[in-house]
Amino acid sequence: MKLHELRETRAGKVAELSALAAKDLAGNAGEQEVARFNTLDDEIRALDRSIARVERADELARMDRAEPVGGREMTRELRNYSVSRAVRGQLDGRLDGLEGEVHTELSRGREVRGVMVPTDILLGETRALTTTTPAGGPGSNLVATQLSGDLIDRFRPKLAVQAMGAKVLSGLVGNLDIPRQKGSGSAGWVAEHGAATRSDVTFDKVGLTPKTVAAEYELSRRMLLNATAIEDILKADLGWLIAQAIDSAAIAGAAAPSPVGLFNIAGVQTYAMGTNGAALTYTSFPDIIGLIDAADDSDGARGFLTNTKVKKAGLKILDGMSRPLGWDVLTGGERIVFSNQMPSNLTKGTGTNLSSMIYGTWSDLIIAYWSGVDIVANPYHSDVASKGGVLLHAFLDADVQCRHPESFVVVKDIIA
């Protein structure tokens, strides 16, 4: 049984068990109802164990698919990699040690402008970091007299597409075409000694071409040399901004120079809530799930991705006795992730500030990387040259594609 079928079966049994519990609470449950309750409880526990095993297998499969860029035998050694040391090495013209070895490996066959940093280390909002007073620059809070503990990060929306199980292709060189079987032949019954009817299988291809996402920081020279937390900034903030851009493009990218995302990929299915948008109801979810069931989808793990406004609205959907149904019942036990990367400012007809949702087989979404993150340290720009500072430009070549567009359903008109 497929994962989504296990979850749908579990959700049905949970709903039946809840109804029996309500009947027992009202004093109307007989021996037959009590026995059925106990049977359902055992069946749900068994389903939970089956779901846990399948989810674990899917998780391991996703980990195997998501090979780090520049992987090979590098992964263990990267724990000692320093982004700030790599940047200083580029500035000083002495890029050596582990950072030099990684740069050489990632640069093979590629034109590189700066220093190459693996995407698993560092994977636009522009701000200048200085070491003066807080009024003069936020970097002053990072220079030690003594700093201890972790950098206190700012609030960020959750990145979700890769976490949902998108397939990651890494370390690519040149454009990539992935053959795709578009249609099958046919089989039929024949009479004794009769000839089979000949048919052909058809193919097309999914094309991936590199598109560049970039971010930029301005750092003072003293900040780069002295700040004890600069490593955390480069990894957690600059890298996150690039990852956020890829995440957003995979969801709603429309046209070059961005990749085209699920909102706009030809062939992705859509579900309309209403002429001007509408609120979700219990029946919305079986209808959305049914669109992919009707497409005879593959066995990959499915799931819903939506935003926190929809989360709040869904928690208010009630059953006939004014009790919250809960997300497990609403989605038929399917996985659901909430991220504010999913738009909540869409329009349709007279409806405004509408929210979005994507349901699909996420392993059919491909995220492709052609390189590590190329960081160029530029001390000669007029904005920093006279100050002794440096501009950091970060570039990553990536693309998004979908192996089977019919594996996804997009909803863009939810009132929440």
Give the pLDDT confidence of 363-415 residue by residue, as tens digits. Answer: 899 998 887 788 888 888 888 888 888 888 888 889 999 988 999 999 999 99
The CA distance from 48 to 67, in Å, is: 30
Closest C-alpha to 206, from 163, 242, 169, 171:
169
The CA distance from 357 to 200, in Å, is: 37
Phi, psi of 212 (to 5 degrees): -100, 125
Give the pLDDT confidence of 112-139 residue by residue, as tens digits. Answer: 778 888 877 766 333 344 444 444 444 4
- Other CB atoms within a 10 A radius of the CB of residue 412 amount to 21
In the structure, what pLDDT confidence band is assigned to residue 77 with cuts at 50, 70 and 90? low
Cα maximum dimension of the chain: 92
Quick check: 287 pLDDT over 50?
yes
The CA distance from 74 to 79, in Å, is: 10
Q: Which two tokens stand for residue 94?
A: 């002495």
The beta strand positions in 72-139, using DSSP E, are 115-117, 128-129
Is pTM beyond 0.85 here?
no
pLDDT, mean of residues 304-320: 93
Domains of the chain: 1-65 (1.10.287), 67-183+199-416 (3.90.1690)
Q: Which two tokens stand for residue 108?
A: 């093979």
- Mean pLDDT over all residues of the chain? 79
